Amino acid sequence: MGKLQVIDHPLIQHKLTIIRDKNTGTKYFREVVNEIARLLAYEVSREMPVEDVEIETPLVKSVQKQLAGKKVVIVPILRAGLGMVDGMLDLIPAAKVGHVGMYRDQETMEPVEYFVKLPSGLEERQMLVVDPMLATGGSAVAAIDALKKRGANNIKFVCLVAAPEGVKVLEEAHPDVDIYTAALDERLNEKGYILPGLGDAGDRLYGTM
Ligand code: PRP
Ligand code: URA
């Protein structure tokens, strides 16, 4: 079973409170989403493998560590996932960025795939799927389905706010995927919104309320 990690560092809790506040405007919301994504990237990269490399310091030859292992691909689920990409790239600048477009049908709440563009050789890559919200889990499951269908086999899911319902659905559909979230909230409302949540992440990022 994939691990669920709630990254409730004090800085993250403080920043989450800012974006949960309905009085936070688009510009500040966008900035703080990226700041939280940067902090999450630090935690997500904690278990990246390292290897020995011989270098010379100004004084002696020395064996030190450098990152090894799979090349990283950050995959935002459009559109709100885009809001986390720059923050993640701040810490993992060499990562490639793939895109998966999903929206929730407002009537059925089912995810609809409308765009997929990914780098080649997914079998050899560490995929980080990013989306601020894990609500019913439908979008995350469908996005990860789309990646696995194209060969990805090493996937982590990174979000800001998760509902217990969505965590359960994602864990059941993709038990190999670790989930990193800044907060695990109480529940969904009857319209599939997370409570207390932060509202519609895409609308708040892009000012489309
Ligand atoms: C939001 C959010 C997730 C999805 C989560 O996107 O960014 O992708 O809902 O809900 P789920 O877990 O119930 O699938 P939305 O469909 O509103 O599209 P947007 O990013 O274009 O705003
Ligand atoms: N998508 C959002 O943007 N917010 C929610 O609360 C649920 C799904």
ipTM: 0.97
Measured at the CA of 81, the angle between CA 17 and CA 166, to 5 degrees, comes to: 75
The closest of 101, 148, 112, 142 to 127, measured between CA atoms, is: 148
- The pLDDT value given to residue 85: 98
Task: Ligand 2, residue 203: give the atom nearest the CA.
Answer: 3
Rg of the chain, C-alpha, whole Å: 18
Alpha carbon of 46 to ligand 1 centroid (Å): 27
- The pLDDT value given to residue 80: 97
Does the active-site annotation cover 204?
Answer: no
Distance set, CA 60 to CA 54, 57, 65, 162, 181 (Å): 11, 5, 16, 49, 43
Phi/psi of residue 6, each to 5°?
-95, 115
- The pLDDT value given to residue 104: 74
Does the active-site annotation cover 52?
Answer: no
Measured at the CA of 7, the angle between CA 50 and CA 76, to 5 degrees, comes to: 75
Does the active-site annotation cover 176?
Answer: no
Preceding amide of 196 cis, omega within 30: yes
* Catalytic residue chosen out of the listed positions 8, 21, 176, 203: 203
For ligand 1, mutation pick of 133, 141, 171, 179 (most atoms within 8 Å of CB): 133
Q: pLDDT for 61-116, tens place per residue?
A: 999 999 998 899 999 999 999 999 999 999 999 999 999 998 878 788 788 899 99
Alpha carbon of 137 to ligand 1 centroid (Å): 9
| Residues at CB less than 6 angstroms from ligand 2 | 80, 133, 135, 192-194, 197, 200-202
- The pLDDT value given to residue 43: 97
pTM: 0.96
Task: Ligand 2, residue 202: give the atom nearest the CA.
Answer: 3
**Residues near 6 by beta carbon (within 8 Å), at least 6 away in sequence:** 181, 182, 183, 184
Which segments of the chain have a pLDDT < 70? none
Question: Both tokens of residue 9?
Answer: 């560092």
Sign of CA dihedral 16, 20, 22, 28: positive
**Residues near 108 by beta carbon (within 8 Å), at least 6 away in sequence:** none
Terminal C-alpha separation, the chain: 38
- The pLDDT value given to residue 107: 84
